[in-house]
Amino acid sequence: MNADDENGTAGEPGPDQDAFADALLEEELRQAAAVLDPVPAELVQTVLDAFVLHDLDARLAELTFDSVVDALPVRGVVDAPRMLTFRSGEVTVDVEVTGDGLIGQVLPPQSVRIEVLGGPGAARPVTADTLGRFTSDTPPAGPFALRLRTGAEVIVTEWLRA
């Protein structure tokens, strides 16, 4: 008696054969996905380049509020600005994203230099006053992060899709 007989080749398909057929079909789907819906090559290249975004010297400001997730929808208001809050230790960054650009403030108020990052190698300075209030008249196109240089340290906000 060989393994096939034991598992009922002649009659009803046995559980082992069903599982084997499942595994085959799954593998077939895997090959189909690789051919019909592969990861776009240019995307892979972009994220390969993103290794430079790994910055050990910067402190990470985590997203603690996102109006898309945390705010109750207001009836009749369909284009409410996106409100974001990032926090790193004592420092808080509030940002409002609209179709016109960014408005925000660093708390506690302080003089900071701020850049908007748009991907590997893309950084654009924004205007900030001595109280940490800043504006940018260019809305982020795609993923963005803010890099803040205070007197003592560098803080980067978590990457986010605007």
Partner 1 sequence: MRSGTLHSTAYDDVPYTRGGAVDRTEVGALVQSAVDGDAAAWKALVEGMSPLVWSVVRAHRLSDADGHEVFQTVWFRFAQHLGRIREPDKAGAWLASTARHECLKVLRGLARLTPTDDPRVLDRPSEDRTPEETLIDSEDAADRAERVRRLWQELDGLGERCRQLLRVLMASPPPSYGEISAALGIAVGSIGPLRQRCLRRLRARMDARGAV
Is residue 154 involved in binding partner 1 (CB under 8 A)? Answer: no
Residue identified by tokens 């260019």 is: 138
- Binding partner 1 (rule: CB under 8 A), the pick from 11, 12, 31, 90 is 31
**Beta-strand relationship, 91-98 and 82-88:** antiparallel
Is residue 79 involved in binding partner 1 (CB under 8 A)? Answer: yes
- In the complex with partner 1, the residue whose CB is nearer, 22 or 137, is 22
- In the complex with partner 1, the residue whose CB is nearer, 51 or 152, is 51
Bridge partners, residue 149, by sequence: 113, 154
Residue identified by tokens 């960054």 is: 93
- Binding partner 1 (rule: CB under 8 A), the pick from 10, 12, 57, 78 is 78
**Beta-strand relationship, 133-136 and 160-161:** unpaired
Backbone angles phi, psi at 19, to 5 degrees: -65, -35
CB of 87 within 8 A of CB of 101? no
Q: Which residues bind partner 1 (CB under 8 A)?
A: 1-4, 6-7, 14-16, 18-23, 25-26, 28-40, 43-44, 46-48, 50-56, 60, 66, 68-69, 73, 78-80, 119, 142-143, 145, 156, 158-161
